[in-house]
Structure 1
Amino acid sequence: MTTAEAVTLPADCRIRPIEPGDDAAVAAIIRVVMPEFGADGPGFAIHDAEVAAMSAHYAAPGHVYFVIERAGRVIGGAGIAPLSGATDGICELRKMYFLPEARGIGAGAAMMQICLDSARALGYRQCYLETLTGMDAAQKLYERSGFARIPQAMGATGHFGCNRFYLRELDA
């Protein structure tokens, strides 16, 4: 796995694996950011049981979750997990959310690189993600990161509120 050196982050920022002490901060970020984009009703990840205990959920085999800290404060996160209901070899980029102060500083690109490198290291061949209309900056990041839009959902995420779907090959 590589680190965020490929993308320049401010000196007071670092990306690291989630720890149990981060659970409350990550849950709060998810619960603040998702409604900002209208993603707080049924069918959105804000209601996933894992939100309250991200560190425990992402400790499972094939899972990894990272947080970004700025001056010691968690300001965002993202993870990789097997795509539920899909064949082996396909992971999902999950719960990638950033507070406003994390946006525009390279956090998204750095986090994306670490997540994709981790997915490769875990042996995944493809990475899938779901998003929705209105998350325009995120979709630009996904496309810059090699994701291609696909016409329909994959797997069984339960996120029927999402209406945009992307897939990326994870060649070495």
Structure 2
Amino acid sequence: MTVKVLVAYATKNRSTAEIARTLTEVFRKQGIDAEMRLARDVGELQVYDAVVLGSPLYEGQWHKDARRFAKRHREALAGRPVWLFSSGPLDESANEGDLPPVPSVRRISIRIQAREHVTFGGCLSDDAQGWMARMIVKAGKGGDFRDFEQISAWAQRIGATLLGEPATDRGGQP
């Protein structure tokens, strides 16, 4: 049986989309039927066996499209395996250890009974949209803090779980 996974995401400046794309590619390499979609464009979830939902963090909140997705699909999400990710810190903190979800994301995680949440480093480039984002970049606090090896390893662990393979730690050791 083929496992079908939805990687739903919200994004403002496309950096979270790049994380979602990496997750989707890793799942596909594992033989999982993975589909990447903007959270605002997802209709029904019946065809998916599992969901990965992610969003950038803005002032301690997920993007409104991710919050609406979680609310709109609350019952369907609670009935299948769900993993959550946030992208946001514009420093190395997300790459140095596990960061707990912000309180609003923790509440979403509890409501939909997510299996896990992880926070990845964020990315804010010179062409960022939004007044606040441009001010952050102008102040020299932008940059790309995403760790694609960390992102890929997380996807591999999720994939192994969905395929019923032995669990491994983050270093790939059983």
TM range (shorter): 0.3 to 0.5
Higher helix share: 2
Higher strand share: 1
Larger of the two Rg values belongs to structure: 2
Q: Under a length normalisation based on structure 1, what TM-score does the superposition of the two structures give?
A: 0.34
Q: Under a length normalisation based on structure 2, what TM-score does the superposition of the two structures give?
A: 0.33
